[in-house]
């Protein structure tokens, strides 16, 4: 094995010393694996519940919620992609499916010929109203009913720190919703 190639500094900074890998401790590894398992199971649980009860995947439900919470129940497609943390291509496909169901419609942006708005329809608002009680109950059972109020607060604080750290604000950041 060529150790020089595995420990060489990045080409952009040839003067930097080689960095040693900061392996996870056994405790950190356990925390990480528990997190991965829990989030995988949680997303699957939420997706199955919404598919069963509302005929839509979790990502579509999230899009409807974001639109419902927006002024006039509409958002520019680029803003919706950013809020949903998905690529514009994936958003476009999701909105097309939601349009077929009659839950969302697209409107051209009057001040930007290339821009479009996604607008939550009355049928979409009604679907959201039907789906929300079962979804919130699934969230309560899966997460909040299992945690003490102190654990809930800690989880919220931790996830906020992680989320903020993963959203670079500098221009040119490689983020999916910018692609």
pLDDT one-digit tens code per residue, 101-114: 999 999 998 887 78
Nearest residue to 118 (alpha-carbon basis) of 168, 81, 169 = 81
Structural tokens at position 59: 């990502």
Quickly list DSSP for 10-25. PTT-TTSPPPPP-PPP
DSSP-assigned beta bridge partners for residue 75: 118
Q: For the chain, 179 residues long, give each residue's pLDDT as a single digit of tens.
A: 333 434 444 555 567 778 899 999 999 999 999 999 999 999 999 999 999 999 999 999 999 999 999 999 999 999 999 899 998 899 999 999 999 999 999 999 888 778 899 999 999 999 999 999 999 999 999 999 999 999 999 999 999 999 888 877 665 666 666 65
pTM: 0.81
């Amino acid at each position: 094995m060529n150790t020089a190639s595995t420990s060489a500094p990045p080409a952009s900074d040839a003067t930097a010393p080689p960095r040693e890998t900061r392996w996870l401790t056994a405790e950190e590894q356990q925390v990480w694996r528990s997190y991965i398992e829990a989030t995988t199971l949680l997303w699957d649980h939420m997706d199955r519940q919404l598919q069963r009860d509302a005929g839509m995947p979790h990502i579509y439900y999230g899009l409807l919620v974001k639109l419902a919470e927006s002024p006039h129940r509409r958002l520019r497609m680029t803003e919706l992609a950013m809020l949903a943390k998905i690529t514009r291509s994936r958003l476009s496909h999701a909105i097309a499916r939601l349009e077929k169901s009659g839950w969302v419609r697209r409107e051209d942006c009057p001040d930007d010929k290339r821009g479009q708005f996604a607008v939550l329809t009355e049928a979409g608002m009604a679907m959201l109203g039907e789906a929300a009680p079962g979804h919130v109950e699934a969230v309560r059972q899966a997460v909040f009913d299992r945690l003490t109020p102190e654990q809930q607060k800690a989880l919220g604080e931790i996830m906020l720190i992680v989320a903020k750290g993963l959203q670079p604000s500098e221009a040119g950041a490689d983020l999916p919703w910018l692609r």
